[in-house]
Structure 1
Amino acid sequence: MEHYKLNRKYKDRLFRIIFREKTALLQLYNALNNSHYTNPDDLTITTIDDVVYMGMKNDLSFIIDDVLNLYEHQSTYSPNLPLRGLFYFSAIYREYIEPVKHQLYTETPLQIPFPIYLVFYNGMKEEPERKELRLSDLFLQKSQSQTPALECTAFMLNINLGHNRELMEKCKTLKEYAQFIHAIRCQIASGLFLESAVENAVNECILKGILSDILRKNRAEVIDLILTEYDENEFRDFLKEDSWKKGHEAGVQEGLQKGLETGIQAGICELIKTCAEFQLSKEQTLKKIQNGFSLSEQDAWNYIEKYWQD
């Protein structure tokens, strides 16, 4: 089966498909703000499809009750999110005042919507439920006595399955999105390549009523987007690292129960088997053992010769 090479240019479009309808977007907004808006037309969409810099795209933005909400989905953490937010807001505000731009040079103050910037994170790196990122943290010079001329604050929410449970219960669509991504990862973890993993996850979620309407109506589009935006290699690297940790932890636990020496040997054996299963070379396994168990190169080779199974 063909192993797809991923194109990051189109990354994060699935999130937009799911929440591009005003009804779903309003549900998400209400869940985040404990509000009770019922009319989707209260939203004024301000999303910019081809925004300003390095091919970045503005995922979702809208105005409601004089608040400009910028929602971005990310599967890769970056401390530069506030800087990107600055570019997004600049582009959106510029378009917003275009009809009255001549007033920029008058004595009359221009009234603009209050900005809120939320980032929905579902990457493999462990992150807290909520994290605040500030543009000022990126400045080369920091001063306690001066206030910077610019600031942009991004609030990052972890939307991996099992995180921010209260929010997930309030927004059924967001919870189902997390379940769908989790289903894909489970299929990959079972040993399938991405194309088969996505097909199986789509079928499974439709049967379970998870994003079923969206997946039925947009099946081909969703599958195509996942195949281009999902970082399969990153997830497989995570599985390898996670397996290594579990092997090491197994050795520690075994050591506590049966004695340190026996436990360490069990952990080394588990690690070697895991490395072999994931097709790491003996040289790569050697480094893992040396780093994880503080062994000499010769001792590490002895364990590999003892436990390696081709």
Structure 2
Amino acid sequence: MKYKNDVSFLVDKTLSLYEHQSSYNPNMPLWEFLYYADLYRKLIHRSERLYSKHLLKIPRPHYIVFYNGSEKDLEEKRRTLRLSDAFETDTGAGEYEWTATMININSGKNQSIMDSCHVLYEYAVFVAKIKRYRDSMELKEAIDLTVRECIEENILRDFLEQHRREVCDMCLTEFDEKKYEDVLREEGREEGLAEGRKKEVFMSVQEGDYGIVRGAQKLNLSVEEFEKEMSAAGYQIPIEV
């Protein structure tokens, strides 16, 4: 996740940017919008041209995200991500739009693209093997086995033979990062549920549905800890007679 994995190039008045993602990110159009702003700024050498009476021509943007993650709800071959989905208010159809085209490059998807770019096809096979093997063995073993098999089957053979160590390290980082993100997401969900539970108990005690002692018991806290957290959360501690 810490490596550079994108490329931009200017060909035939089109400024193309290709990005690779192994986890779904709905904010890619915004990221792209900001990135393109920097690219266009570098292409405009004389800023005063922006104040000219003549229209300043710029290359058209062409943004592609190659996706090979495992999210179950992203099985379609292509998805168009729109900047307008992030707007807090509706600006009207087609107004102020900026898009990113996400192409699924998991094995078996977008076969026409794979047929026209054999290296991309081989990369999809390589990633699919790691995903399949890691279900039954440790990640490092799955990566090592995948690399050996791919070399034997002439899949990314030259690259793997030259950069075997770097590829293994990259894959360990990439897949461990995904697992780490999943753990954080699950922990965040559990923390959110726990926080919601706290608020529910605090509100019930404040409204007199039951007393402080029972509220502390529901949250497995001492009475002193309960009162401290309830007060810190901005709730009024009732005076019990």
| Residue number among 145, 167, 175 corresponding to 2:113 in the alignment | 167
Please name the residue that 2:236 is paired with: none
Please name the residue that 1:138 is paired with: 86
Q: 2:43 and 2:169 mapped to 1: Cα distance?
A: 33
Please name the residue that 1:184 is paired with: 130
Please name the residue that 2:228 is paired with: none
Please name the residue that 1:81 is paired with: 28
The one-letter code of the counterpart of 1:201 is T
| Residue number among 51, 62, 66 corresponding to 1:105 in the alignment | 51
| Residue number among 140, 163, 182 corresponding to 1:218 in the alignment | 163
Q: 1:167 and 1:119 mapped to 2: Cα distance?
A: 14
Q: Is the 8 A contact 1:160 1:178 kept in 2?
A: yes
Please name the residue that 2:139 is paired with: 194
Q: 1:216 and 1:101 mapped to 2: Cα distance?
A: 48
Q: Name stretches of at least 5 consecutive residues in structure 2 with no aligned partner.
A: 183-241
The one-letter code of the counterpart of 2:39 is I
Q: Is the 8 A contact 1:194 1:232 kept in 2?
A: no
Q: 1:105 and 1:234 mapped to 2: Cα distance?
A: 50
Please name the residue that 2:62 is paired with: 116
**1:147: how far off?**
6.1
Q: 1:198 and 1:162 mapped to 2: Cα distance?
A: 20
Residue 189 of structure 1 aligns to a residue whose secondary structure is: coil
**1:120: how far off?**
0.7
Q: 2:145 and 2:39 mapped to 1: Cα distance?
A: 39
Q: 2:94 and 2:121 mapped to 1: Cα distance?
A: 40
Q: 1:69 and 1:233 mapped to 2: Cα distance?
A: 27
| Residue number among 100, 106, 114 corresponding to 1:154 in the alignment | 100
Q: 2:54 and 2:151 mapped to 1: Cα distance?
A: 55
The one-letter code of the counterpart of 1:212 is R
**1:92: how far off?**
1.1
Q: Is the 8 A contact 1:61 1:68 kept in 2?
A: yes
Coordinate RMSD, CA, aligned: 2.1
Residue 131 of structure 2 aligns to a residue whose secondary structure is: helix
Residues 1:208 and 2:156 aligned together? no
Which deviations, in whole Å up to 9, do the C-alpha atoms of 1:36-81 show, x marking residues without a partner? xxxxxxxxxxxxxxxxxxxxxxx11111111111111111112211
% same residue: 43
The one-letter code of the counterpart of 2:105 is I
Q: Is the 8 A contact 2:23 2:178 kept in 1?
A: no
Question: Where has structure 1 moved over 4 Å in runs of 4 or more?
Answer: none
Q: 1:233 and 1:105 mapped to 2: Cα distance?
A: 46
Q: Is the 8 A contact 1:194 1:227 kept in 2?
A: yes
Q: Name stretches of at least 5 consecutive residues in structure 1 with no aligned partner.
A: 1-7, 17-58, 238-310
Which deviations, in whole Å up to 9, do the C-alpha atoms of 1:132-156 show, x marking residues without a partner? 1110111010043x864x3210111
**1:232: how far off?**
7.0
Higher helix residue share: 1
**1:233: how far off?**
6.1
The TM-score with structure 1 as length reference comes to 0.54
**1:194: how far off?**
1.8
Which deviations, in whole Å up to 9, do the C-alpha atoms of 1:234-265 show, x marking residues without a partner? 49x8xxxxxxxxxxxxxxxxxxxxxxxxxxxx
Higher RCO (CA < 8 A, seq sep 6+) = 1
Residue 230 of structure 1 aligns to a residue whose secondary structure is: helix
Check 1:69–1:103 CA distance in 2 against 1; reply closer, same or farther (3 A cut): same
The TM-score with structure 2 as length reference comes to 0.68
The one-letter code of the counterpart of 1:130 is R
